Amino acid sequence: MIDIAAREAAVLWPTYLRPQVEFVRGEGVVLWDVHGREYLDFLGGIAVVAAGHAHPKVVAAVAGQLATLGHTSNLYFTGPQVDLAERLVDRFGGGAKVFLSNSGAEANEAAIKVARRWAKASRGERAIGIVAAVGGFHGRTLGTLAATGKPSIREPFEPLPPGFSHVPFGDARALAAAIGPDTAAVLLEPIQGEAGIRVPPDGYLAAAREITAEAGVLLIMDEIQSGMGRTGRFFAHQHAGIRPDVVTMAKALASGYPIGATIAVDEVSNAIRPGDHGSTFGGNPVACAAALATLDVIEPLLEGHVDRVGGRLAGGLLELRDRVDSPGAELRGAGLWYALDLGEHAPASAREVALAALSRGLVVNPVTETALRLAPPLVIEEADIDEGLLRLAGALQEVGACR
Ligand SMILES: Cc1ncc(COP(=O)(O)O)c(C=O)c1O
């Protein structure tokens, strides 16, 4: 066991099952551990480090803002907050307003609250229901856990707030059937991240938009993992050509500086009254400065770079999938976000492959028992993709999962 593991076990909650590695530095797509060993980061802090580690623009923005004005609370106006909200509303297509918080779970909590506030006023006091999807992941607070479609992580903490139901992901008929007079909103990830990068069938998101619009309920898209350019568009729902009523963001938005954002169309955000919601840190000037600099880095990558290098990654992963010794092997994902699923009868688990990859200097994670998640920084170039694929092939061979 490495030194820090024993120290940590004595003083930190045993919340995380970590591999035996301590990272101390990062630059671009490279991480270094405490012994100076170099790793290619194909996980990017779980789809967070989109601009790459220690991007000079992000570092300068954070340091400059912290040295100028670090915090005032939300009792006063601050420029970076408005600058960021303007950028996000613009990305969404206008006609909307933003609430800024500190994490994905908080962004979804705000979405649930604004949906209920709007629906009670416009659909009646009973309209508090949130329809979400089986397998969906929306956070670990009690409210977002209630929305999460994974009974194994919900059940230990029941009773959870009422009003949440779950339908199979990708089934438009089941979605339509679940909406009734008590429904306020439908909450979906456009592609389910924690379920193993599950892409819904073509037409599902457009159908969800149509069904919710017809029923007069809100469509909330959780873009916390899928957004900020991860799939090659700023928001993953843009591939389907739809405009949801509410969008939530976090993860990559500020390069790892904690932030959450909830965008709601004007009709919905205008339902909020002063005092309905708030946060001490949310929209903190330093987090907003980090987000603005991150957007400066990410936005130009959406003009072809993510599609190009993502295509190369997908091509290499498809070759690996074909070499996996398991009939159920599958590749899922888009842009620079993939799950290589080894299938139920694979000779090795995703955890075993991830550990073998780590020992070869490649960071990936087992997003499910059978699937490896890859979500490298969006700034990654072809040469690093090729090297990462070589290391992954070596790891798969080492554990006997691939020819
Ligand atoms: C789709 C989605 N929603 C919400 C969350 C929760 O975000 P956070 O961990 O920042 O609270 C996550 C985190 O993985 C996520 O992937």
pTM above 0.85, yes or no: yes
Ligand 1 atom having least distance to the Cα of 103:
10
d(CA 240, CA 220): 14
Which residue stretches of the chain have pLDDT < 50? none
* Residue 114 token pair: 């604004």
6, 27, 378, 294: CA torsion to nearest 10 = 100
**Residues having CB within 6 Å of any atom of ligand 1:** 103-105, 108, 137-139, 189, 193-194, 222, 224-225, 250
Of all helices (H) and strands (E), which one includes residue 362?
strand 362-363
Q: Compute the distance from residue 225 Cα to the ligand 1 centre, in Å.
A: 7
Q: Compute the distance from residue 327 Cα to the ligand 1 centre, in Å.
A: 31
> Helix-strand-coil percent breakdown of the chain, rounded to 5?
40, 20, 40
The pLDDT of residue 78 is: 97
275-325 per-position pLDDT tens digit: 999 999 999 999 999 999 999 999 999 999 999 999 999 999 999 999 998
The pLDDT of residue 396 is: 97
Alpha-carbon distance values, 67 to 63, 64, 76, 289 (Å): 6, 5, 19, 12
Q: Compute the distance from residue 106 Cα to the ligand 1 centre, in Å.
A: 9
Phi-psi map region of 346: left, alpha, beta (phi>0 left; psi -120 to 50 alpha): beta
Catalytic positions? 137, 222, 251
Alpha-carbon distance values, 19 to 2, 23, 396 (Å): 10, 11, 18
d(CA 289, CA 100): 13
d(CA 161, CA 25): 41
244-265 per-position pLDDT tens digit: 999 999 999 999 999 999 999 9
Ligand 1 atom having least distance to the Cα of 193:
16
The pLDDT of residue 325 is: 84
The pLDDT of residue 3 is: 87
Ligand 1 binding pocket mutation candidate from 192, 220, 231, 251 (most atoms within 8 A of CB): 251
The pLDDT of residue 326 is: 87
d(CA 322, CA 327): 9
pLDDT over 70, % of the chain = 100
Ligand 1 atom having least distance to the Cα of 251:
10
Q: Compute the distance from residue 347 Cα to the ligand 1 centre, in Å.
A: 30
Peptide bond before residue 274 is cis, with ω within 30 degrees of 0? no
